[in-house]
A and B are shown apart, each in its own frame.
Chain A
């Protein structure tokens, strides 16, 4: 007999004791754990989804349709005032690029432009760096994701994001179904029964339609925009030199928001 009852119990007891300590230590130090949430610049990445928007092809009408399609797909309710929620929205040159607008004598064309703003799915996202629970994290393919079941609602990511891309559910989004005034603004909420509404107290933002992308489809905004005007939104892998987005960026001059901050934004505005 190798082990008697007494020894067996000893081993079990000791391994349980070590197990508790070791598990948390391993969780902290496990290789890959850190990289998963903060992708180091040295790591060889193969995919980084990115988007280019052809400003010569988009107009207010198209953008409004795009915004509506996105917000309907993801059940983002219309809430007036500063407690609003938005995943994608329009902003003029002065407010989309405030640091470049001061004293810039821009062309009339640019002056009239409305830029669609959304999460930049940064190479080096400050939101993921500051999140204390990894509720927001960067996927292998570069999409900056949100886990609405883990988010504690500390809003550190909202302070961290230099693009104002994040919204917080100050109240229960489903209140728009009960509240009279909000009901008028959102008559058919929730518009997409297949996608869950969020709960009060969590942060949300554009998730680059990761579920569609995983299936080889295009994000809702790209799909909607290209149906109205072909080639207005270009989506692709920025790390692949042969991708459509890289091809267009070789030909056209593009702006990115606040590139000096080193976040590496992946939304390009073709001027």
Chain B
């Protein structure tokens, strides 16, 4: 099947070259970081995690969301999704790879990375995150590859793959739960210290991931001879609608607890994010942008006519991605560290090389995704599905 990734249209070639160019520039930036240390980033003593860890968190959600096509297909026998499960699984592979790379570029001493294995530490959530993420990567590679190659040969995939598929379903939930536990168990960070964190993470994952999948399906339909299907996209629209409603609902639950209890430590990060605090308000316009896009997406997703029409669904999906990305990719981390343990605000903004390295990791993820999708689409075109 691998040979299919080497043949393609001119546009396909240019796209790959474009991604490689970004990866190249990012690699040079990373070499700079390797030499100078994380000094070249905007992170500091107070905001000690930044853009990298935020993207990692967001992408764990994208990876976990693969289950939203796998679960209806294999547990509810919803046959329409069988046509696109492999796209969900391949998206998960690309997303997990990006997650691992974001962790890597965030380490102060990356060459000591294997210490996590040499000194296994079960009381550290990061240890478990390493296990669940690598496990999920392996599961999706095995499942995706075997199901696709069986489809190509026109046979049913082997029974042991089915076992892996069943394991992969709760496993998907576990990766984002464990990622939430990284934050939700820290005593001195009130914005993160909330029991609903894992649930909120899953809800935002299950709307943003399928939203990305809808966009990818529409692209596939446009640039290839394979149509992922109208019904499939429509069902995904329904899933996105429910998950986004839950996501926004969970956010309001956070607001209620913080503001009705009126505990200053719990209110302050939210005030900092949405209104500004002590004269610092760098994230305010971003957070309100997220709120507006969340509102637009909800409107388009709840009204049946706009949800079922593919062009308005596309706008809804883009809005979901913008809203959830700002929420998790900016607000979550920076809001978690502000105010700091002394009640002060320290602004953080990624530097140019930091943004470039981030783009490089994304470019690498999209390169893997493009190659995997090219393979999947080629097989689908070949068997004339």
Q: Across the two chains, which residue of chain A brings its CB closest to B263? A: A99
* A196 to B: closest C-beta gap in Å: 15
A170: chain B residues at CB < 8 Å are: 37-39, 41, 43-44
B346 touches A150 (CB 8 A): no
User: What would 17 A/B residue contacts be, using CB atoms closer than 8 Å?
Assistant: A37-B123, A82-B45, A91-B342, A101-B343, A130-B186, A131-B121, A132-B116, A133-B112, A133-B118, A152-B109, A153-B108, A160-B186, A160-B187, A161-B341, A162-B189, A171-B37, A201-B108
* B36 to A: closest C-beta gap in Å: 6
What is the 8 Å Cβ interface bit string for chain B, positions 131-150, against chain A (1 contact, 0 not)? 00000000000000000000
User: In whole angstroms, how far apart are the Cα atoms of A153 and B106 in the complex?
Assistant: 8
Cβ of B344 within 8 Å of any chain A Cβ, yes or no, is yes
A161 touches B188 (CB 8 A): yes
Q: How many residues of A contact B (CB 8 A)?
A: 56
Known: A82-B44, A153-B112, A201-B109. 16 other contacts (CB 8 A): A81-B44, A84-B45, A98-B343, A132-B121, A132-B126, A154-B106, A154-B107, A159-B49, A159-B186, A160-B187, A162-B188, A168-B45, A171-B36, A201-B38, A258-B341, A261-B188
B342 touches A96 (CB 8 A): yes
What is the 8 Å Cβ interface bit string for chain B, positions 105-121, against chain A (1 contact, 0 not)? 01111101101101111
A164 touches B341 (CB 8 A): yes
User: In whole angstroms, how far apart are the Cα atoms of A11 and B248 in the complex?
Assistant: 62
A202 touches B124 (CB 8 A): no
B120 touches A162 (CB 8 A): no
* B260 to A: closest C-beta gap in Å: 18
A152 touches B107 (CB 8 A): yes
Which residue from B103, B108, B126 sits with its C-beta under 8 Å from A202? B108
Cβ of A83 within 8 Å of any chain B Cβ, yes or no, is yes
Q: Across the two chains, which residue of chain B brings its CB closest to A151? A: B109
User: In whole angstroms, how far apart are the Cα atoms of A248 and B129 in the complex?
Assistant: 45
B39: chain A residues at CB < 8 Å are: 83, 170-171, 200
Per DSSP, are chain B's interface residues mostly helix, strand or loop, or mixed? Answer: loop
B187 touches A156 (CB 8 A): no
* A205 to B: closest C-beta gap in Å: 11
* B33 to A: closest C-beta gap in Å: 10
Of residues 310 through 354 on chain B, the ones whose CB sits less than 8 Å from some CB of chain A are: 336-337, 339-344, 346
B343 touches A132 (CB 8 A): no
Which residue from A91, A96, A134 sits with its C-beta under 8 Å from B121? A134
A38 touches B120 (CB 8 A): no
B43: chain A residues at CB < 8 Å are: 170
A7: chain B residues at CB < 8 Å are: none
B187: chain A residues at CB < 8 Å are: 126, 160, 162, 261-263
Question: Known: A94-B343, A168-B45. Contact between A156 and B188, CB under 8 A?
Answer: no
Of residues 55 through 100 on chain A, the ones whose CB sits less than 8 Å from some CB of chain B are: 81-85, 91, 94-96, 98-99
Cβ of B182 within 8 Å of any chain A Cβ, yes or no, is yes
What is the 8 Å Cβ interface bit string for chain A, positions 164-198, against chain B (1 contact, 0 not)? 10011111100000000000000000000000000
Which residue from B37, B103, B124, B342 sits with its C-beta under 8 Å from A201? B37
A95: chain B residues at CB < 8 Å are: 342-344
Tell which of A38, A152, A158, A262 has the most Cβ of chain B within 10 Å: A152
Tell which of A28, A85, A98 has the most Cβ of chain B within 10 Å: A98
B189 touches A159 (CB 8 A): yes
